[in-house]
Amino acid sequence: MTSNRWFIDSETGELSDVLLCPPDNYSWIPSNDIAIQTMAKGVRIDRGALAAQFRELVSALEGAGAACHFLQPHAGMPYQVYTRDSSQTTPWGTVVTRLMRPERQAEEREIRTFFQPDDIWKSATQGHIEGGDIHIIRPGLVAVGVTGGRTDEAGAREFLGWFEQAGWTTRMIRFPEHFLHLDVIFTMVTENLAIAAVDVLDDEDLDWFRAQGIRLLPVSYKEAMRDMGCNVLALGRDRVVSPRHSTRINEMLRAEGLTVIDPELNQFSQGGGSIHCMTMPLRRASLATG
């Protein structure tokens, strides 16, 4: 049994608690194609801007009514700031995931320090699975991205099996490892509405999303990779946090009637992550009815 202190059953229920990690030890490393391209251009992190952007994100979340919780940053963990990957909140408690990159595997220790034993529902033991590939779309519906890298079929199969035992509809979404995680090319923004790199996702997957009643707003390859344009965070009640530099996407979301909160986060996006990567929702209001 778990305490079920932490709970989500969707990507879009109203957010009340969220997990972050201060970027004290954040650095760009050549572990993904986005960071490699940034570093090849000779760009360097502005650490003053980095700290200010993190504070702006925290302020935006708190201003939207979310309580922010923080991991303790550790030296030698350059991407610990991307808290999305090292755990996953579920309707039954927290899953400790299984990170692929060697420089990230030590993050599991800090995750287990943060959570109380009763918070942890399951621990991944097969292959690799990272939270950026997991989308608990709504009660009864979950998708996991599979590249064979950050998340492989064994890791996805184990995780989805737990949901299938509970009667959920599940799907593996396969795409090239170049895109890192599913949340680089697909993210829910409000109930039944997502933004997606529609030219990247397979037609069969696009058809599956639409068959579930999910409408897809198109994001270009350049917006997805250069700007981390899909990497946004739904706050619930038709509100979304999206990077300030994603101007066209933000206009598109506002045209749909969404309230867009747009902190600047380019010091993070140039390293291969953004708002969705930097936040693990710990508790959302349930979308379940009846």
pLDDT single digits (tens) 103-156: 899 999 999 999 999 999 999 999 999 999 999 999 999 999 999 999 999 999
The residue type found at 130 is E
**Residue-level pLDDT at 2:** 43
CATH topology of domain 15-284: L-arginine/glycine Amidinotransferase; Chain A (3.75.10)
List the chain residues with pLDDT less than 50.
1-2, 290
**Residue-level pLDDT at 214:** 98
**Residue-level pLDDT at 235:** 98
Q: Please give the C-alpha separations between residue 5 and each of 1, 11, 93, 198, 276, in angstroms, as whole numbers.
A: 12, 18, 7, 36, 22
Q: Give residue-wise pLDDT tens across range 261-283.
A: 999 998 887 777 899 999 999 99
